[in-house]
């Protein structure tokens, strides 16, 4: 990143939008891959935030970016839910830890 803490938030937002587009297309492999990329960005953000505090205007922008990320995440979860339920049905009792061997 270029040293601007907001660039991390913007990169995470971009990745979340790419994840949403992949989820809409049913490309769950790409969703998982992008989720890993987001995890790396979040770890980098945590480290950078110790050294690069945000100013008042940047905090407001960060809030708007975070809201968009949360909206993307909610839609991804809604798209994934039927897939997760299908997987659960296919696995049958294997998803019940009390019935696993």
At 27, list the tokens.
């490309």
d(CA 10, CA 6): 6
Q: How many CB atoms lie within 10 A of CB 8?
A: 22
C-alpha of 14 from chain center: 10
How confident is the prediction along the chain (101 residues), in pLDDT tens digits per residue?
Answer: 545 899 999 999 999 999 999 999 999 999 999 999 999 999 999 998 888 888 888 999 999 999 999 999 999 999 988 766 777 777 875 555 555 44
- The pLDDT of residue 91: 81
User: Which residue has tokens 């009390």?
Assistant: 98
């Amino acid at each position: 990143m270029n040293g601007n803490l907001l660039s991390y938030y913007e990169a995470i937002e971009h990745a979340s939008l790419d994840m949403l587009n992949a989820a809409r297309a049913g490309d769950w492999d790409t969703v998982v891959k992008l989720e890993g990329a987001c995890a790396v960005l979040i770890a980098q953000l945590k480290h950078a935030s110790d050294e690069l505090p945000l100013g008042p205007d940047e905090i407001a922008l960060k809030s708007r970016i975070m809201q968009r990320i949360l909206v993307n995440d909610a839609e991804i979860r809604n798209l994934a839910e039927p897939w997760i339920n299908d997987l659960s049905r296919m696995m049958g009792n294997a998803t019940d830890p009390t019935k696993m061997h």
